[in-house]
């Protein structure tokens, strides 16, 4: 029987085999921190907040009809609304995003 921290809930702790698999995957991938830093630097270079860059990129994709976002305060809501109403990203910026993706194709497997 699995022990849980709360009655009626399954044990969600990682078992050793699963943890070893995840750690092995992380050893073969790029650091997610480097990918995040690259996207944040790109956003700053273009005068955008990282969340605004991400939202505008997602909403600019032809197969995306909507996006789910989260905000912790009014300022974040205002930033995301402004990003959602902004025009599509410049082609050069999209190419720069694609270049980062090619450099870090799967930073968090």
| Residue 25 counted as domain residue | no
Residue matched to tokens 């905000």 = 71
- pLDDT exceeds cutoff 90 at 49: yes
| Residue 13 counted as domain residue | no
| Residue 80 counted as domain residue | yes
| Residue 98 counted as domain residue | yes
Domain count of the chain?
Answer: 1
Q: Can you tell me the distance from the alpha carbon of 101 to that of 25, in angstroms, rounded to the nearest whole number?
A: 18
List all residues 6 or more positions away from 75 whose beta carbon is below 8 Å from its beta carbon: none
Q: Which two tokens stand for residue 28?
A: 């073969």
Residue matched to tokens 């956003």 = 43
Q: Can you tell me the distance from the alpha carbon of 32 to that of 105, in angstroms, rounded to the nearest whole number?
A: 10
Q: Of residues 47 and 31, which shows the higher confidence score?
A: 47
**pLDDT band at residue 19 using 50, 70 and 90 as cut-offs:** low
* Section 7-16 average pLDDT: 56
* Section 34-52 average pLDDT: 94
Q: Which two tokens stand for residue 61?
A: 């994709």
| Residue 3: predicted pLDDT | 43
Query: Are 53 and 46 spatial neighbours (Cβ–Cβ below 8 Å)?
Result: yes
Domain extent at residue 74: 30-103
| Residue 2 counted as domain residue | no
- pLDDT exceeds cutoff 80 at 96: yes
| Residue 41: predicted pLDDT | 96
| Residue 48: predicted pLDDT | 94
**pLDDT band at residue 2 using 50, 70 and 90 as cut-offs:** very low
| Residue 94 counted as domain residue | yes
Q: Provide the mean pLDDT of the chain.
A: 82
């Amino acid at each position: 029987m699995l022990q849980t921290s709360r009655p009626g809930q399954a044990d969600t702790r990682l078992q050793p085999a699963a943890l070893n698999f995840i750690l092995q995957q992380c050893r073969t991938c790029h650091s997610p921190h480097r990918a995040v830093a690259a996207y944040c630097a790109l956003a700053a270079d273009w005068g955008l907040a990282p969340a605004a860059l991400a939202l505008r990129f997602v909403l600019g994709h032809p197969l995306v009809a909507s996006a789910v976002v989260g905000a912790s305060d009014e300022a974040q809501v205002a930033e995301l609304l402004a990003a959602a109403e902004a025009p599509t990203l410049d082609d050069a910026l999209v190419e720069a995003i694609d270049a980062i993706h090619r450099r870090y194709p799967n930073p968090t497997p």
